[in-house]
């Protein structure tokens, strides 16, 4: 009788694993920039403008390189919800249209993992990205913690 | 009906889940191939002799070195020819390898691709952001992003999908038919950090069913700062909002087409929606959260000769008819405390020289208020087209405008547009066009992220006693 339960248990555990992977990040996200960036903090309003492509340069004139977590990741879901207030489809359409009008020359760059985001922020003085609080370390500068 | 217990009795793999069994069998099979394969591939004379551990290791190492040489050979064959300016490059690792080329080794199965070091792209932009576009990357030049747009229509009624002025003159019988829309190719390239180029090339068919190609936009933009950018080429004039937000890709637009007021010049439109010249624009410093922007445009203006000679193009791409230039000054704000709100205004002026009648001075002031977020879309624009014949004290004023409201419900977006164009009969340039106004309710369904089905009903009131009707079903998409 116990063996009859095995498929059900496997199914439930698989479901829980999928739910856990799809669930929003529990930790707050931290917005990170290159340590050499003179900016020490970014307001939420400015962050929205930056991530919408409306502000394309830092105060020192350096071009901003926008980094986005990979599609489907919890971190990306949080940013779409809190910063863009858009679905993934609306986000894609937004940047196609922004490119079409000439306002934005390119959409944010999708990056596969938190380690890669940090690596790109470290290697690009104009880059801005976001990682979970536990992934932020001394190699990058935190300019905002998303609520 | 077999129970789980009876199923397990039939298998030798115990009580492992059913879905794991093929995987386990596959692993056993692969392990067998991995161990036995190299031995079987060896000389026949050795196949029946016992093999010691050290001989086995030597044999495996030999196989690995042969495979490495084979991979090097294949990689060398895949290396493209170097550009003429590049120094003679190595043909690949195999070319410099002291190991002689081995005879081809039969592979029992295709090997998985080996991880190789990423090759840096030799482009002008060291970090091209190509998400969402097809990117052509020819070594030695900037990236070129390409995107396409297309729409098909099924029309029923006189004003189903009106695209050309006069919308209904001469009055045509109610008809229905399929219509191939605009085949729009959008190109975008960043030449350097500050310099970019974009272009829109449209393949379209007109009322004669003849295909033609139009370079609708081609503009080079230098943007060294958020406070200043300058563009040159053929652009969409910064009159109102819709004309610079929506161009030729109907997929972007919630309804099936542009408002009457923004019809293209070569479709009889009354506004100069294209300009050939230069445009300067930027953020106004110290405007803070108001986010105020300025725009100044100087261009050739719109031709007047085409009004009497249809063979002429209304946009002066190559030859300006007069020394006088058209000017447009515009500005808008995007308050950061109400994301999605944009309020703007402009004034455009030009002097045109139609054949056989006095010069006409044109002034086009306009204003708009729009609000767009992912759920709501609320657009309101009004423009006044004023034509004055030189030497006359009479002005001919044409009010043009529309209001549009839509709300998204999942994949569906019902919308409503009311639009008006009312040209006085005495207007020296467009008096024959007349008046068009009326409602256009519709429904848009985004059945994928990049394709939409729209159904729109148009009811148009003119100076004729009876209104006209039309129904348009449109599929538009980007690719």
pLDDT digits (tens), chain B, 479 positions: 333 333 333 333 334 444 444 444 444 444 444 444 444 344 333 444 455 666 666 666 667 666 766 665 565 555 444 443 333 333 333 333 333 344 443 444 433 443 333 433 433 343 444 545 566 666 678 889 999 999 999 988 878 776 665 565 444 555 788 888 899 999 999 999 899 999 999 998 877 788 889 999 999 999 999 999 999 999 999 999 999 999 888 999 999 999 999 988 888 788 999 999 999 999 999 998 899 999 999 999 888 777 777 777 888 888 887 888 999 999 999 998 899 999 999 999 999 888 777 888 999 999 999 999 989 999 999 999 999 888 888 889 999 999 999 999 999 999 999 999 999 988 888 888 888 899 999 999 999 999 999 999 999 998 888 888 889 999 999 99
Asked if residue B461 lies in contact with residue B130, where contact means CB atoms within 8 angstroms, the answer is: no
The whole-angstrom separation of Cα B364 and Cα B350 is: 9
- Sign, Cα dihedral of B231, B330, B284, B248: negative
pLDDT at A126 over 60: yes
The whole-angstrom separation of Cα B460 and Cα B474 is: 19
Domain-wise residue ranges, chain A: 27-145
Other residues' Cβ atoms within 10 Å of the Cβ of residue A72 = 10
Domain-wise residue ranges, chain B: 18-44+54-77+90-111, 143-478
The whole-angstrom separation of Cα A112 and Cα A58 is: 25
For B252, which of A86, A100, A109 is closest by C-beta distance? A100
β partners of residue B333: B292, B343
Tokens 């056989």 locate to: B356
The CATH code for residues A27-145 is 3.40.190.10
ipTM for the whole predicted complex goes beyond 0.85: no
Tokens 């719109």 locate to: B302
CB of B198 within 8 Å of a chain A CB? The answer is yes
Question: Is B8 strand, coil or helix?
Answer: helix
Q: Residue B288: which residues within 8 A CB-CB, separation 6 or more?
A: none
CB of B193 within 8 Å of a chain A CB? The answer is yes
DSSP state of B140: T
Tokens 């829109």 locate to: B200
Gyration radius of chain B's alpha carbons: 33
CB of B374 within 8 Å of a chain A CB? The answer is yes
Q: What percent of chain B has pLDDT over 70?
A: 68
For B198, which of A4, A6, A102 is closest by C-beta distance? A102
The whole-angstrom separation of Cα A121 and Cα A109 is: 12
β partners of residue B453: B445, B475
Q: Residue A138: which residues within 8 A CB-CB, separation 6 or more?
A: none
- Give pLDDT, residue B406: 98
Our measurement of the distance from residue B361's CA atom to the centroid of its chain's CA atoms, rounded to an integer in Å, reads 36
For A90, which of B193, B336, B374 is closest by C-beta distance? B374
CB of A51 within 8 Å of a chain B CB? The answer is no
**Does the model's pTM come out above 0.90?**
no
The CATH code for residues B143-478 is 2.40.160.10
- Chain B residues inside the 8 Å CB shell of A88: 449
Mutate which of A102, A117, A120, A125 to disrupt the B interface (most B C-beta within 10 Å)? A102
CB of A55 within 8 Å of a chain B CB? The answer is yes
Q: Name the E strands within B76-142.
A: 134-136
- Give pLDDT, residue B202: 94
Q: Residue B200: which residues within 8 A CB-CB, separation 6 or more?
A: B184, B185, B186, B187, B215, B216, B217, B218, B247, B248
Q: What is the pLDDT of residues B19-68, one digit of tens each?
A: 444 444 444 444 444 444 444 344 333 444 455 666 666 666 667 666 76
CB of B341 within 8 Å of a chain A CB? The answer is no
Q: What is the pLDDT of residues B352-394, one digit of tens each?
A: 888 777 888 999 999 999 999 989 999 999 999 999 888 888 8
């Amino acid at each position: 009788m116990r063996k009859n339960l095995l498929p059900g248990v496997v199914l439930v555990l698989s479901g829980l694993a999928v739910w856990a992977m799809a669930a929003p990040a529990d930790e707050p996200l931290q917005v990170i920039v290159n340590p050499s960036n003179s900016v020490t903090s970014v307001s939420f309003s400015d962050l929205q403008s930056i991530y919408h492509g409306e502000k394309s340069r830092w105060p020192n004139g350096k071009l901003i390189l926008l980094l986005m977590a990979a599609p489907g990741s919890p971190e990306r879901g949080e940013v779409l919800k809190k910063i863009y207030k858009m679905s993934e489809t609306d986000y894609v359409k937004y940047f196609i249209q922004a490119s079409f009008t000439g306002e934005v020359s390119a959409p944010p760059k999708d990056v596969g993992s938190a380690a890669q985001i940090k690596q790109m922020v470290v290697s690009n003085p104009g880059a801005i990205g976001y990682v979970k609080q536990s992934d932020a370390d001394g190699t990058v500068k935190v300019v905002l913690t998303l609520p | 009906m077999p129970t789980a217990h009876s199923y397990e009795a039939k298998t030798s793999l115990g009580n492992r889940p059913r879905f794991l069994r093929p995987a386990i069998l596959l692993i056993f099979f692969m392990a067998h191939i991995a161990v036995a394969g190299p031995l079987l591939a060896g000389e026949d004379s050795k196949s029946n002799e016992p093999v010691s551990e050290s001989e086995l290791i030597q044999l495996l190492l030999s196989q690995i070195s042969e495979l490495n040489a084979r991979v090097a050979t294949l990689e060398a064959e895949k290396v493209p020819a170097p550009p003429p300016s590049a120094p003679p490059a190595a043909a690949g690792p195999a070319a410099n390898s002291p190991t002689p080329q081995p005879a081809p080794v039969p592979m029992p199965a295709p090997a998985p691709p080996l991880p190789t070091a990423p090759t840096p792209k030799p482009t002008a932009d060291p970090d091209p952001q190509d998400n969402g576009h097809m990117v052509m990357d020819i070594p030695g030049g900037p990236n070129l992003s390409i995107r396409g747009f297309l729409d098909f229509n099924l029309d029923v009624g006189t004003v189903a999908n009106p695209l050309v002025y006069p919308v209904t003159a001469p009055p045509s019988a109610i008809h229905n038919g399929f219509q191939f829309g605009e085949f729009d190719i959008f190109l975008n390239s960043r030449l350097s950090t500050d310099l970019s180029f974009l272009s829109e090339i449209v393949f379209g068919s007109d009322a004669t069913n003849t295909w033609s190609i139009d370079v609708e936009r081609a503009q080079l933009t230098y943007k060294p700062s958020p406070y200043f950018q300058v563009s040159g080429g053929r652009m969409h004039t910064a009159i109102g909002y819709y004309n610079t937000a929506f161009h030729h890709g109907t997929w972007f637009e919630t309804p099936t087409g542009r408002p009457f007021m923004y019809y293209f010049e070569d479709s009889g439109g009354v506004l100069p929606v294209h300009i050939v010249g230069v445009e300067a624009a930027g953020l106004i410093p110290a405007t803070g959260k108001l986010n105020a922007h300025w725009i100044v445009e100087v261009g050739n203006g719109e031709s007047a000769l085409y009004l009497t000679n249809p063979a002429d193009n209304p946009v002066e791409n190559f030859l300006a008819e007069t020394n006088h230039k058209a000017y447009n000054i515009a500005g808008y704000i995007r308050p950061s405390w109400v994301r999605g709100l944009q309020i703007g205004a402009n004034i455009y002026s030009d002097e045109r020289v139609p054949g056989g009648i006095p010069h006409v001075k044109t002034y086009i002031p306009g204003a708009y208020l729009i609000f767009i977020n992912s759920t709501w879309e609320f657009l309101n624009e009004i423009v006044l087209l004023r034509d004055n014949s030189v030497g006359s004290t009479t002005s001919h004023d044409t009010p043009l405008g529309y209001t549009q409201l839509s709300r998204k419900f999942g994949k569906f977006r019902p919308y409503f547009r009311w639009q008006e164009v009312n040209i006085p009969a005495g207007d020296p340039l467009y008096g024959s066009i007349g008046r068009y106004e009326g409602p256009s309710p519709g429904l848009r369904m985004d059945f994928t992220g990049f394709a939409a089905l729209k159904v729109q009903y148009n009811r148009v009131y003119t100076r004729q006693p009876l209104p006209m009707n039309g129904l348009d079903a449109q599929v538009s998409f980007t690719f």
